[in-house]
Amino acid sequence: MYEILISLIFVAVTFGISKWQKLGIEKELLVGTLRTFGQLTLIGYVLNFIFAEENPIYTLVIILVMIFVGAMTSSKRGEGFKNVKLVAFGSILLGTFLTLGVLVLVGALEFSPRIVIPIGGMVIGQGTKSCSLGLDRMKSEFQNRKPILEAAVALGLRPVQFSEFLIPPAFRASILPMLDSLKIVGLIQLPGAMTGMIIAGAEPFEAVKFQILIMYLLTGAASFPNFILTFVCGVTYFEDNFRKLTRKEV
């Protein structure tokens, strides 16, 4: 427990910097610090129970809960998009199946709570971050190019055609952090899964092979749900605004 107390020094330093520079993040930092402690402590008890039971139903429930939380988190970036919460949930669910689910089905990963839940958390977390970035970028792209949209409406360009100019930039911007991670892994960054295995006593090369699998898995986790979400939300968002602009033109 004293290790946690020592690590709080870094939080205190960040708090002090915020106060000194008047950044205004003190409350958010305190809430985040308390939530981190509470959430991780709670999940520790939950995982102890699930690992002891070895019940696949419990494992699936945990994965679905994580997907739900991820969808609700990323959808906050998509205020104004039609049915964004439902689309976000479906996108992350499908993205998780296309990555983690496929590896389990082909036998590359064992369907065990000790394996599926931690890796599922990585996959869903990556998908959530990617979807959040995609939605945020798409909204800003739409606002920045609104005059072009108005001109496009006047020229008869359909919303699906127009969205083709905005969805790719949003998708590219959201997947860039994952692309950077692929470039620096092993040179600058030693990722968590690999580090954890080495600390636990695994041979470095075994840890490396597992980390390569994880990195490729996370690449799919960053791209699949984000592409689905940005495409569906993008087209419907532009269709809604297309109707508004059409009525304005009339």
Output the pLDDT for position 31: 92
Mean pLDDT of 145-161: 70
Domain range summary for the chain, segments of one domain joined by +: 1-53, 54-249
Average pLDDT, the chain: 84
Which residue in 66, 127, 110 sits closest to 210, CA to CA?
Answer: 110
**Binning pLDDT at 50, 70 and 90, where does residue 163 land?**
low
Nearest Cα to Cα of residue 160 among 223, 228, 232, 90: 232
pLDDT tens-digit series, residues 173-220 = 888 888 988 888 877 766 777 777 887 788 888 888 888 888 999 999
| pLDDT for position 22 | 84
**Other CB atoms within 10 A of residue 111 CB:** 15
Q: What is the pLDDT of residue 125?
A: 92
Mean pLDDT on 23-40: 91
What is the per-residue pLDDT across 62-100, written as a single tens digit (0 to 9) for each?
999 999 999 999 988 887 787 889 999 999 999 999 999
Residue range 30-39: mean pLDDT, rounded = 92
Full DSSP string of the chain: -HHHHHHHHHHHHHHHHHHHHT-S-HHHHHHHHHHHHHHHHHHHHHHHHHHHH--HHHHHHHHHHHHHHHHHHHHGGGTTSTTHHHHHHHHHHHHHIIIIIHHHHTTSS---HHHHHHHHHHHHHHHHHHHHHHHHHHHHHHHHTHHHHHHHHHHT--HHHHHTTTHHHHHHHHHHHHHHHHHHBTTTB--HHHHHHHHTT--HHHHHHHHHHHHHHHHHHHHHHHHHHHHHHHHHHHHHHHHHHHHHH-
